[in-house]
Amino acid sequence: MEIQEKIEALRKEIEYHIERYYNQDDPEITDYEYDQKMNELKRLEREHPEYVTPDSPTQKVGGSAKREAGVLVEHNVPMLSLQDVFDRGEVENFVAEMKKQLDDPEFVVEYKIDGLSLSLRYEYGELKLAETRGDGIQYGEDVTANAKVIRDVKKKLKDKPEYLEIRGEVYMTEADFEKVNEKQELLGKKLFANPRNCAAGTLRQLDTAVTKERGLSMFIFNIQDARGISFETHTEGYEYLKKQGIRVIEEYTVCKTADEVWAAIEKIGENRGKLPYDIDGAVVKINRFSDREKLGATSKVPRWAVAYKYPPEEKETKLLDIELSVGRTGRITPTAVFEPVRLCGTSVSRATLHNQDFIDELDIGIGDTIVVYKSGEIIPKVRRVIHEKRPEGVKKFVIPDVCPVCGAKTEREKDTADIKCTSPNCPAQLERHMINFVGRDAMDIKGFGATYIMELVHLGYLKDIADIYDLKKHREELIEQGIIGKEKNTDKLLDAIEKSKQNEAFQLLTGFGIPNVGKAAAKTILKHFGSIEALMQADMESLQQVADVGEVTALCIRNYFQDENNCKIIERLKEAGVNMEMAESGSEDGRFDGLTFVITGTLPTMDRKAAAALIEAHGGKVSGSVSKKTNYLLAGENAGSKLTKANDLGVSVISEAELQEMLK
C-alpha cells in the first residue's frame, strides 16, 4: 500500500501542475522540476505495472480543452506530445532503435520552441481554421480570429493545394514579453510569469486587438496532413513552406549517425542563450514520412521523434551588491549583482531577488557565495546560498523602510510580499500616478491615454498632476512637436482637461491615489467632510468616524495630507480652478443608507454609470466586486462571474425592474 499511496500522491501533484501549466498558464515549478516528478512516476509505474491506470498523467497528452476560451473543434490529426530524453545514452538508444527498425534512416535535429502548440488548416490555399492542442487527442479550441492577427500566420498561400494542415509553436520574444509586462505593471495588472505563459494567455483571450498588440510570433515545425500535394521528407516540406512565405524552425540539421545527432544537439545547446526567444530542448525526428508511417505512434507520443531536455546549468559566484529599483506601481524590487559567470552560452551578472520574503528564505547577504542558474534556460535566478562559505560579518540583507528613489516611507502591502513606496509623486512611479489621475474612475479626462502621458512625462512637461492644468501654456509647442497630434486633437484634449476642473471633488480625491481610497471610499469620505480642505484638516479620530474608514485607511489619508509636496500640488490645483467642494445632494432620501450594491451585465434601459448614480443618490454604496459585505447584485444580461460569486455567497440578486420597484 505504501508504493500505491506514493504513486497516487505523485499523480495528484503532477495533475495539479499540469492544470497550472496548460489551463491556467501560471506554473509554480520549472519545467525541469516537472520533468523530474514525471520521470519518478514513470519509474514507479514501470516497477509496479499493476498500479498503472488509464487516467494516470503518464497515459494522457497535455492538458484539456477549455470550452470557455473558444468553440471546441475536433482534431483531424492528433496533436501528440513527444517522449522526453535527458542524456546522451537515451539519445543513442533512440537512434539505435530507429536503425534497427528502418532502412538507413535520416534524422533531423532542430530547436524545440517553448510556446503554445497550434495547428493551421488551409483549404485551397486559404486559412480556414486555427486550433490549439487542447487534450491532444480529440478536441482543441478554435482560435482562428486570434491566429489571423499573428504576424507569422499566413492567411493565404501562394499555391492552392486542396488541403494542408501544419503544426507549429506560438511564442513570444523576450523583447515583446518585456513590453507586455511593462504595460501590465503600468496599468496595475498582474505580471506574466514568462513568455510562454504570456503567449498562451494571449492566444486564448477574446479580444483580437490585444492579441495583435502583444506581438505573438510563430514557427512551423511539422506538416500534419496534405491532399493535392505530397512530400517525401520533412525537410522537403520545410522548403515548400518557406516558398509559401511560412516561417519554419530557423535551424535544423540532417544527420545519419548517433554522433552527428549528438553534435547537433550540443550545437543547439551552445547557441540557445543567444536566441531572442526561449527554447526548452532539441527535437530529434525521422526525416522520411514513409518511415514515420511505418513506425506509427502510441496513444501518447509518436514513435519517430524524441525531445532532448537540456539539464539546468548552475554556477557558483560571489554576491557583490543588492540594488533596489522602484517600479511604476511603487513596488521595490531587489536585484542581485554578482561576479559574472557564463550560463547557457552567455555571461550573466544580475538576477532578481523578487522580494524580502525570498531574501529571508535564502538568508542571503552581500558577500555571500551564491549558486545561480537560468530558469527556462534564459532568465538568470539565484538557486541558493552556500552558507558554509559565508565571510565573517555578513548578515542577511533587509530592504530599508525608505524609498531608494525619493526617500519617502515604504510599506508592505497587506496579504502580499510587495514593499512599496508610499509617495504617489515618486519620480519612479510618476507615469502610473498620472494615468490613474486622468482615468475613468478619477478625473475622467477623455482622450488622455497612457501613450500621451508617457511621452509628456518623458519630455518633461509633466512632473506632477498639477502640471496637467498647465499644459495649455505649452499649446503651440505641443502642436509643433505633434505629441498629441495636430491642432484639432491638441485643442480637443486641452478642452477636456479644462472641463475636468468642474468634476465632483470625490473624483479629485480618487485621483490623488491615496492607498485604500478608491472611488467609492472617496465619495463616502467627501460626503462626510464636504470639501478637500476640510478633509486635509481632519485628525485620525474624525477620519475613523466615516463608514468603512479604519485605522489603516485613516493613517494613509493623514500621511498623504501631511506631506509638504502634496500640499503644494493641491494648492496649485486650487489656483488652477479645480473644484474642491462636494456638491449638495439633491435628495435627502437615504433608503439605501448602509447598503452596498454591485452592478454587472447589460441593463435593459440604463447604463451602469446611471444605475450607480441612482443608487448613490439614495444613500447606497456601489462597489466593483462581490463579497460577503455585498447586499445586492444588480444584474443584467451576460452577468458573468460576478453573478456566480453572488449566488455562491448567498447575495440577493435583483434586476433593473426590481431596483426601480425598491425606489417606489
d(CA 608, CA 642): 14
Tell me: is residue 432 an annotated ligand-binding position.
no
Tell me if 421 is assigned to a ligand binding site. yes
Is 112 one of the annotated active-site residues of the chain? Answer: yes
Short-list 508, 561, 567, 509, CA closest to 536: 561
Give CA–CA dist 609/613, Å, rounded. 6
Q: Does residue 33 have a known ligand-binding role?
A: yes
Place of cell 476642473: 501
Beta-carbon contacts of 599 under 8 Å, excluding residues fewer than 6 positions away, are: 608, 611, 612, 622, 633, 634
Instruction: Tell whether residue 403 is among the known ligand binding residues.
Output: yes
122 marked as binding residue = no
Triad 25, 29, 31: Cα angle to 5° = 85
35 is in an annotated binding site: yes
d(CA 281, CA 269): 8
Pick left, alpha or beta for residue 619 (phi over 0 → left; psi -120 to 50 → alpha; otherwise beta).
left
Q: Is 344 annotated as a binding residue?
A: no
171 belongs to an annotated ligand binding site: no
**How far lies 416's CA from each of 16, 331, 338, 411, in Å?**
23, 11, 27, 11
Q: Is 470 annotated as a binding residue?
A: no
The single residue of 60, 112, 420, 519 carrying the catalytic annotation is 112
Q: Which of 133, 109, 119, 134 is nearest to 281 (CA)?
A: 109
- The cell for 361 is 528564505
Q: Which three cell numbers stand for residue 603?
A: 441593463
Q: Is 31 assigned a ligand-binding role in the annotation? A: yes
> Under DSSP, is residue 661 helix (H, G, I), strand (E, B) or coil?
helix
Specify the pairing of strand 217-227 against strand 252-255: unpaired
Output the 3-class SS for 275-331.
CCCCEEEEEEEECEHHHHHHHCECCCCECCEEEECCCCCEEEEEEEEEEEEECCCCE
The answer on whether 291 is annotated among ligand-binding residues is: no
554/558 Cα distance (integer angstroms): 6
Q: Are 206 and 194 spatial neighbours (Cβ–Cβ below 8 Å)?
A: no
406 annotated to bind ligand = yes
Between helix 430-438 and helix 174-186 the angle, nearest 10°, is: 60
- Is 285 annotated as a binding-site member? yes
Q: Which residues contact 451 (CB under 8 A, 6 or more apart)?
A: none
Partners of 107 in the beta sheet? 255, 286
DSSP 529-563: H-BHHHHHH--HHHHTTSTT--HHHHHHHHHHHH-
- CB-count exposure of residue 173 (10 Å: 0-12, 13-18, 19+): middle
8 A C-beta contact, residue 74 and residue 119: no
User: How far apart (Å, rounded) are the C-alpha atoms in residues 240 and 246?
Assistant: 9
Q: Is 426 annotated as a binding residue?
A: yes
- Residues in contact with 405: Cβ distance below 8 Å, sequence separation at least 6, in sequence order: 326, 421, 426, 427, 428
| Residues catalogued as catalytic | 112
Residue positions forming the annotated binding site for Zn(2+)? 403, 406, 421, 426
Residue positions forming the annotated binding site? 31-35, 81-82, 110, 133, 169, 285, 309, 403, 406, 421, 426
Residue positions forming the annotated binding site for NAD(+)? 31-35, 81-82, 110, 133, 169, 285, 309
